[in-house]
Amino acid sequence: MDSQFKAGILIEALPYIQEYYGKTVVVKYGGSAMQSDELMDAVIRDMILLKCVGIDVVMIHGGGPEINEMLKKIGKESKFINGLRYTDKETIDIVQMVLSGKVNKSLVSRIENFGGRALGLCGIDGNMLKAQRKGGDVDYGFVGDVVGVDTRPITDAIDNGYIPVIATLAKDDDGDILNVNADTAAAAIAAALNAEKFILLTDVKGVLHDPHDESTLISVIHGDEVQSLIDEGVISGGMIPKIQCCMHAFNGGVRRTHIIDGRVPHSILIEMLSDSGLGTMIC
């Protein structure tokens, strides 16, 4: 009987639900999983389900493509220094507007549409994210690194029953709003929350021994293996900062960090509520 079979599948998830009950899970959401409506709804519903079964989910998002699109719309050309986009006042204004006004509130709206309760915050709210301008000789404009997290606006939202959705803007001591890397900010927040889990949704399957063969996925990497894997070239390119993010979160007190494939529908649920697991765990 069909419905009985489905009930059986629900029951299979029970031990996983019990394991995470009352714990905090931080999900950094971006990339492909944020570009398709279908994948977006899958992620959103995963978040709501996790919240329903007593897990305190925190959603942190970037929004690079939307920012680019908007800059293009206003005819703003981007200047790059050492591969980093120089962020002038007009650009940071667009960044702020797109991240905390468009992407953030649209995610909140989607969560509410599926019956969840969400609160859209950015690093400015309640002085959540404190940053410092990038130092050195080069002036990148309004670009910085997170140097402090005040978790109260997040835990207040959790305690009041909301899923906090966070745009990673930050402010420095001069009161200037800075553009910060969303992955790094997410890792810092996960660490500050002493999260049980930090999940980075990406556009790849995880760390692969052979980048052309998805069957060579490395399921678990221990911290002390990271450097040699970089040296061997197994971890390379854009994966290096992602792995470093995870190491950061892990060293900051997060129990488990994961890089998983955001292109797979319900990848968060699969990672958390089944024994399949997904992607690469760094711990």
- Per CB under 8 A, contacts with a copy of itself among 48-77 are 48-49, 52-54, 70, 73-74
- CB closer to a copy of itself, 40 vs 230: 40
- CB closer to a copy of itself, 160 vs 228: 160
Number of residues that bind a copy of itself (CB under 8 A): 73
Sign for the CA dihedral angle at 159, 164, 169, 175 comes to: negative
**261 touching a copy of itself, by CB under 8 A:** no
- CB closer to a copy of itself, 52 vs 220: 52
Of the candidate residues 24, 29, 46, 246, the single one contacting a copy of itself (CB under 8 A): 46
- CB closer to a copy of itself, 104 vs 202: 104
Residue that is written with structure tokens 């029953």 in the block: 161
Residues facing 177 on adjacent strands: 171
Of the candidate residues 79, 89, 152, 222, the single one contacting a copy of itself (CB under 8 A): 152
- CB closer to a copy of itself, 163 vs 207: 163
Stretch that binds a copy of itself, among 4-12, 81-89, 198-206, 214-222 (CB under 8 A): 4-12
Cα angle 76, 122, 247 (rounded to 5 degrees) comes to: 95
- Residue 283 burial class via C-beta count within 10 angstroms: exposed 0-12, middle 13-18, buried 19 and up: middle
Instruction: Compute the distance between CA of residue 87 and CA of residue 138 in angstroms, rounded to an integer.
Output: 12
Contact 141, 92 (CB under 8 A): yes
Kindly state the tokens that stand for 122: 């950015």
Stretch that binds a copy of itself, among 120-128, 193-201, 204-212, 225-233 (CB under 8 A): 120-128
Of residues 78 through 97, those in contact with a copy of itself by CB under 8 A are 93, 96-97
Instruction: Compute the distance between CA of residue 219 and CA of residue 27 in angstroms, rounded to an integer.
Output: 19
Tell the smallest beta-carbon distance from residue 224 to a copy of itself (Å).
30
Contact 182, 30 (CB under 8 A): yes
- CB closer to a copy of itself, 46 vs 183: 46
229 dihedral zone (left: phi>0; alpha: psi -120 to 50; beta): alpha
Pairing verdict, β 256-261 and 280-282: antiparallel
**171 touching a copy of itself, by CB under 8 A:** yes
- CB closer to a copy of itself, 169 vs 243: 169
Tell the smallest beta-carbon distance from residue 38 to a copy of itself (Å).
12
Contact 189, 26 (CB under 8 A): yes
Of the candidate residues 65, 244, 265, 283, the single one contacting a copy of itself (CB under 8 A): 265
Tell the smallest beta-carbon distance from residue 177 to a copy of itself (Å).
6
Tell the smallest beta-carbon distance from residue 261 to a copy of itself (Å).
11
Of the candidate residues 21, 89, 253, 255, the single one contacting a copy of itself (CB under 8 A): 21
Instruction: Compute the distance between CA of residue 105 and CA of residue 109 in angstroms, rounded to an integer.
Output: 6
Secondary structure element (H or E) that encloses residue 49, with its range: helix 37-52
SS3 10: helix
